[in-house]
Amino acid sequence: MNEHCLLNERHLRARKWRDRLRWKLLFVIAMISFSKPLFAQDRILDAYVSQGLKNNQGLRQQDFLLQKSLYALKEAKSYFLPEVNFNTSYLDSRGGRKISIPIGDLLNPVYTSLNQLTNSTAFPQVENVNQTFNPNNYYDAKFRTSLPLYNPEIGVSTKIRKEQINFQQADYDVYKRELVKEIKLGYYAYLQSEEAIRILESAVNLARENLRFNRVLVSNDKAIRTVVSRSENELIGLEARLEEAKYQSKSATAYFNFLLNSPLDTKIEMVETIQNEPTAGGNAFNKREELLKLESLAKINTLSGQLAKASSLPKLATFIDLGSQGDFLNFNNDTRYYFFGLTLDWRVFAGNRVQYRTKQALMDSKVTGEQISQAEQQLELQSQTASNKLNAAIRIFQASKSQTALSQQYYQDQQKLYREGQLLYIELLDAQNRLVSDQLQQSISYMIMQTRSAELERAQASNPFSN
């Protein structure tokens, strides 16, 4: 007897274990089946975001500006390198100021005495010379190589260019995050318009079925003609709303494709919407690019003050000329030359210009510091506001979903009563309008919830992407 009871107990335990395992497997299968559309929707949206980041024209413009800043940095560094220039000139003149050189008056008496002493004509007479100041048939061609030995302005300018790259990079990232948000909002707007079309098409089908049913009642003298007229008017109104929803869907499609830089009528891929609530998220947010921009601007202002001070320091440079000068087309050892030198440039007095520039840069730095403090508070407020809006949107969506379920059940009950002849058509019509309105409101509240989620993601800068 005991053995029989023990066998029965083991059998019951085994059956309970199998039942638990079966329910767990069914739960896992249901969750997988339920999550597939959601994952597919996320995958499609991520693909569109990647496409927009790759093709958007506004983002390309920002990228060009960033590349321009990189080239500006290379330009600033080039001032540390030697500079080689080629310069040439040719001069030809007639007339102008002259100088008289009495060569003949000085030498001819001496030459005459020498000829008499030597009893010869070995020393001829010479004429006086009139030499013009302007050179005639003269050229000068040279290569000048110059190199700054000490110039603090070059170093500070290079630092400013580097910081301008950080500023432009932050500006690029700001545009990038805004584009991601706009793409998501555009996609959700398109989904909402398509959901509205689906709901209104279902409502039109219901209205057509009611019209058909009412015509049957009138033909059998079970209802008056007014019921058919009311049904026809209701159908016309729903069809008009359906056309408006289709127009809104086309507009949403065009705007979304505009963000992707695609043809405006390109078909948008979508899957069946699974209306899940997103995570509300916290109030903490990552380092916003707007703050990085202001921090870079503060550094640039500080460096601008250093640049103003550097302009008052001495500048030392060296140069060497390698060239040739002489009569035109004459080039030999006598015409070739080199010329080496050092230059020192030091501004001694400029009416306190440097001090004024330094104070201007200091005021700019103070302004930027206040902007940073204000921006931190604004961004924190924006994050908290976005989180609160998302929480409110989730609650509204949950209430709307519950209301739609009640309206669906109420309409089915009212329709059953109407077909049994226990309800007026106006009451059925009221239930139908309430159902359509609640379904549209649920669709709108769901898309508002998704919009608030995208806004919170933007406010917290939580969407990771590589530069």
**pLDDT given at position 367:** 92
For residue 344, what are its two tokens? Answer: 């020192």
**pLDDT given at position 102:** 84
Amino acid at 153: E
Average pLDDT over residues 15-22: 45
**pLDDT given at position 31:** 37
- Which residues contact residue 219 at a Cβ distance below 8 angstroms, ignoring those fewer than 6 apart? none
Lowest-pLDDT choice from 173-182, 209-218, 249-258: 209-218
Q: Could you report the per-residue pLDDT of 382-435, keeping only the tens digit for each?
A: 888 888 999 998 999 889 889 989 988 988 888 888 788 787 777 877 888 888
- Measured CA to CA, the distance from residue 267 to residue 254 in angstroms comes to 10
| Locus of tokens 């497997």 | 25
- Measured CA to CA, the distance from residue 25 to residue 137 in angstroms comes to 104
**pLDDT given at position 82:** 92
| Residue 94 vs residue 239, higher pLDDT | 239
Q: How far is CA 344 from CA 130, 145, 149, 250, 341, in A?
A: 40, 16, 10, 70, 10
Q: Which of 451, 465, 452 is nearest to 186 (CA)?
A: 451
With cut-offs at 50, 70 and 90, classify the pLDDT of residue 440. confident
**Is the per-residue pLDDT at 38 higher than 60?**
no
Q: Which of 251, 255, 254, 258 is nearest to 197 (CA)?
A: 251
**Is the per-residue pLDDT at 285 higher than 70?**
no
H helix intervals, 83-139: 103-118
The DSSP code sequence of 78-90 is HTTS-EEEEEEEE
**pLDDT given at position 276:** 60
- Which residues contact residue 302 at a Cβ distance below 8 angstroms, ignoring those fewer than 6 apart? 361, 365
Most confident of 24-33, 229-238, 387-396: 387-396
**pLDDT given at position 109:** 87
Helices 2-55 and 57-78, axial angle in degrees (round to 10): 70
CB neighbours of residue 382 within 10 Å: 18
**Is the per-residue pLDDT at 233 higher than 60?**
yes
Task: Name the DSSP letter for residue 151.
Answer: -
State the fold for domain 24-55+153-309+351-460: Outer membrane efflux proteins (OEP) (1.20.1600)
Q: Could you report the per-residue pLDDT of 316-328, keeping only the tens digit for each?
A: 999 999 999 988 8
| Locus of tokens 């959700």 | 188
Average pLDDT over residues 180-205: 88
Q: Could you report the per-residue pLDDT of 90-120, keeping only the tens digit for each?
A: 888 877 777 888 888 888 888 888 888 888 8
Most confident of 110-124, 271-285, 364-378: 364-378
| Locus of tokens 């520039």 | 357
Within 13 A of 417's CA, how many CA atoms are on the CB side? 15
> Whole-number mean pLDDT of the chain?
82
**pLDDT given at position 319:** 94
**Is the per-residue pLDDT at 146 higher than 90?**
yes
- Which residues contact residue 1 at a Cβ distance below 8 angstroms, ignoring those fewer than 6 apart? none
With cut-offs at 50, 70 and 90, classify the pLDDT of residue 341. very high
With cut-offs at 50, 70 and 90, classify the pLDDT of residue 278. low
In the chain, domain spans: 24-55+153-309+351-460, 95-148+312-345
**pLDDT given at position 5:** 44
For strands 98-101 and 138-150, give the pairing.
Answer: unpaired
**pLDDT given at position 34:** 37
The DSSP code sequence of 13-45 is HHHHHHHHHHHHHHHHHHHHHHHHHHHHHHHHH
